[in-house]
């Protein structure tokens, strides 16, 4: 798959996830072989008002490039201003626009997946962004608002006409949030309707899922979200599989422990001694999902407040030593 000046021979991308795909996790995913990571969505309003937290979210490191930065907005003017700011900042290589977030606090402002109900405004926003930036520009959307309003093909055609370079489609409606099953057939409809690359998203967790979604949709690329939480090894496995056909084994317990420590150290670096360990709690429970003593581990991790606390848990349950 090609996107602007970038070419991806094993296009398995990390989806943008609020509170998850920050710099720390993106670096880990990139090191595991993910060729393109999408950053967590950033508010155009926050950019407009130069909100300190928002500006921190726009930062990146050389070790995670190329990087796609995602913005969300309710109006063409705000979207264009934010897009131009991101391009001028130079911390990302690709700009993405969010038309898929189902969160009520986003939707009530006419942002995210609310735009699936307003094709004219969505088109105006995409057109304004395209005029505002020269960098590669993608959009992420759902298949519709609900089962009675599946309009992703119309929105995709409008996006292509507006000059968008690629479209990522999550095969669920806004009403579904993350429940039920992704409808890959609707993604296939988009693939047939447009000539720009389409990135398939939804329910890819295994080698077989990767085979099936590529066969079912015909898409050039796949985007992985929740299945990558606590499992960055999935990128190493799937990209290697696409290149060689070989199915690599999952991580050992020692590998899990080592990555937990690396992730924690990155969070300490970027978010400090107080926030870092507390944000690491959810990641640590994801990293150890499905293993023996999982419930006890979750309880212990959720009480950890320092690096030493995490190391003590890993020594006890993983026999891990730095």
Task: Kindly write down the DSSP assignment for every residue of 153-214, as one continuous string.
Answer: HHHHHHHHHHT-SEEEEEEEETTTTT-S---HHHHHHHHHH-SS-EEEESS--SHHHHHHHH
> Under a CB-based contact definition with an 8 Å cutoff, are residues 60 and 44 in contact?
no
Q: Residue 302 in 3-state DSSP?
A: coil
Question: Is 306 buried (19+), middle (13-18) or exposed (0-12) by CB count in 10 A?
Answer: middle
Residue numbers annotated as active site: 101
**Which residues neighbour 51 within 8 Å (Cβ) at sequence distance 6 or greater?**
43, 45
> Under a CB-based contact definition with an 8 Å cutoff, are residues 78 and 41 in contact?
no
**Which residues neighbour 148 within 8 Å (Cβ) at sequence distance 6 or greater?**
none
- What is the spatial distance between Cα 197 and Cα 308, in angstroms, rounded to a whole number? 46
> Under a CB-based contact definition with an 8 Å cutoff, are residues 186 and 169 in contact?
yes
């Amino acid at each position: 798959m090609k996107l602007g000046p970038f070419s991806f021979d094993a296009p398995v991308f990390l989806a943008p996830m609020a509170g998850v795909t920050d710099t720390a996790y993106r670096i880990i995913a990139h090191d595991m072989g993910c060729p393109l990571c999408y950053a967590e969505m950033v508010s155009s309003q926050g950019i407009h008002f130069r909100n300190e937290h928002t500006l921190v979210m726009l930062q990146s490191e050389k070790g995670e490039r190329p990087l796609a930065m995602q913005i969300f907005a309710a109006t063409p003017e705000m979207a264009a201003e934010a897009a131009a700011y991101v391009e001028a900042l130079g911390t990302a290589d690709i700009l993405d626009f969010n038309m898929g977030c189902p969160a009520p606090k986003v939707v009530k402002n006419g942002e995210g997946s609310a735009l699936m109900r307003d094709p004219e405004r969505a088109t105006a926003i995409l057109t304004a962004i395209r005029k505002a930036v020269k960098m590669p520009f993608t959009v992420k959307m759902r298949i519709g608002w609900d089962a009675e309003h599946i309009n992703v093909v119309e929105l995709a055609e409008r996006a292509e006409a507006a000059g968008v370079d690629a479209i990522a489609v999550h095969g669920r409606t806004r009403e579904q949030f993350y429940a039920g099953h992704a409808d890959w057939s609707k993604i296939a409809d988009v693939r047939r309707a447009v000539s720009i690359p389409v990135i398939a998203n939804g329910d890819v967790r295994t080698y077989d899922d990767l085979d099936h979604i590529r066969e079912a949709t015909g898409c050039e690329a796949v985007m992985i979200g929740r299945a990558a939480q606590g499992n960055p090894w999935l990128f190493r496995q799937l990209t290697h599989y696409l290149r060689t056909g070989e199915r690599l084994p999952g991580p050992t317990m020692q590998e899990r422990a080592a990555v937990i420590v690396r992730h924690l150290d990155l969070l300490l670096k970027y978010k400090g001694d107080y926030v870092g360990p507390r944000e690491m709690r959810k990641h640590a429970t994801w990293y150890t999902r499905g293993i023996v003593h999982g419930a006890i581990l979750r309880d212990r991790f959720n009480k950890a407040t320092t690096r030493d606390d995490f190391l003590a848990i890993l020594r006890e349950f993983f026999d891990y030593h730095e």
